[in-house]
Amino acid sequence: MRQFIALPALVLGFAACTVQSASEPEALSSRNDELVGGHVAAESEYPSTVSIGNCTAAKVGPRHFLTAAHCVSESLTQLSVTTDNNAQNFRSLTVTSVKRHPQYTACTTCAGDGSMNDFGLKPDAALITVDQLTPDIPQAVIDSTPVAYGAAITLTGYGCENGVGQPSGPSRLKVGDTQAIDPLLLDGAASIPGGYVASYGPANTPAAPGLCPGDSGGPLFRTGTNKIIGINALVSFVGEQATPYGNWFTRLDTSSRYNVYNWVTSIINASSATPCTGLCTGPTTFTNQYFSSGNLGTTAKCFETSTALVSGNCGGFVSPRKLTINGTTMACTGQNWTLPAKRNGGYCFQATAGNNSWAYFSTF
């Protein structure tokens, strides 16, 4: 019997939802391999893919992480993300907004029966915006071009490795290469192709990778590129070992149902301002609370951070040279500052041109 499962365990502890489809032949035994197929990612492979606890996500904007709508609640206030491809290293980010696709939360054409046809009409996509910049996490690009059947695609995720409900070791990023297929080869619900792209799992094609709980929300890439073309959403499986049979990914292109690409990018563009936006261009970004500029030289300089700061000080500035933070002039007498209010989630430091070459500022 083939079964379907959304891919938590969910960040907020929702139960996995399952429905049964028509009877299918029992298939191959489970592969004791990564991503249920695939391989453990090298540090340089798809580094925009992050673990967010019990789901996976991808950085797609300066302060934006893309994941599955079923992974998050719009009341989420803190987001834990991996700082590299090691799911043992997390940092906590302050969430400013969670946007789940409106047709996921209130599908206007769904029957409400939990069927695969309803699934096809609900884009399982969410965009999380955080307060802090994360320049050490690379940013992926959302691809606006539809995925052709037969195109080379790469699955990524931090989920379990041995199949649904099977023992698994510590979470780690896995990747697996395969090809896109017509989702109607997996299920006959006519609504699916407009909303989802699909691939076979190892129960159908032994060498193919299969999704597993925890991979939810992970990005689907065009193989060998930094371009995201889908979001891990659903897996079907067969047999006592719950071997993945088919994988579904939310389409993100401009031809997808509801034009998910424009929905995501419009949110990013509306909220991508950084602390120095409108004040200076090309700022140097720093992420350490305990930062020292070193000697600034005599030319104008610009720095920004979204790190939580307590205070700081500066010295060596000879009038009319000055240091401003978020447009407020700071006294450079060696005394600790009272910081001005944050601007776009952080602080913009601007040193005008002038003497001395050894002028500096530091933060803590």
CATH class of 3-270: mainly beta
Tens digit of pLDDT for each residue in 210-265? 998 899 999 999 999 999 999 999 998 887 667 889 999 999 999 999 999 999 99
Give the DSSP letter of residue 46.
S
- pLDDT band at residue 4, thresholds of 50, 70 and 90? low
Displacement of CA 359 from its chain's centroid (Å): 39
What pLDDT is attached to residue 12? Answer: 23
What pLDDT is attached to residue 284? Answer: 95
Q: What is the distance between the alpha carbons of residues 263 and 106, in angstroms, rounded to a whole number?
A: 15
Percent of the chain predicted with pLDDT > 90 = 68
Token pair in block for residue 228: 């995201």
User: Residue 71's closest CA among 34, 19, 23, 17?
Assistant: 17
What pLDDT is attached to residue 167? Answer: 62
Classify 294 in phi/psi space as left (phi over 0), alpha (psi -120 to 50) or beta: left
What pLDDT is attached to residue 6? Answer: 55
Q: Which 3 state secondary structure label does DSSP give 264?
A: helix
The more confidently predicted of residues 89 and 215 is: 215
Tens digit of pLDDT for each residue in 35-87? 777 777 766 789 999 999 889 999 999 899 999 999 999 999 999 999 877 77
Q: Which 3 state secondary structure label does DSSP give 165?
A: coil
Give the DSSP letter of residue 217.
T
- pLDDT band at residue 88, thresholds of 50, 70 and 90? confident
What pLDDT is attached to residue 166? Answer: 66
- Sign of torsion, CA 57 60 64 68? negative
With b meaning 16 or more CB within 10 Å and e meaning fewer, what string describes 6-37?
A: bbbbbbeeeebeeeebeeeeebbebbebbbbb
pTM over 0.85: no
Tens digit of pLDDT for each residue in 161-203? 766 666 666 788 999 999 999 999 999 999 999 999 999 999 9
β-partners of residue 358 are: none
Tens digit of pLDDT for each residue in 137-156? 999 999 999 999 999 999 99
Percent of the chain predicted with pLDDT > 70 = 87
What pLDDT is attached to residue 318? Answer: 96
Q: What is the distance between the alpha carbons of residues 330 and 177, in angstroms, rounded to a whole number?
A: 54
β-partners of residue 228 are: 142, 221
Token pair in block for residue 337: 């500052």
What pLDDT is attached to residue 344? Answer: 84
The residues spanned by each domain of the chain are 3-270, 284-363
Type of residue at 348: C
User: Residue 242's closest CA among 211, 208, 199?
Assistant: 211
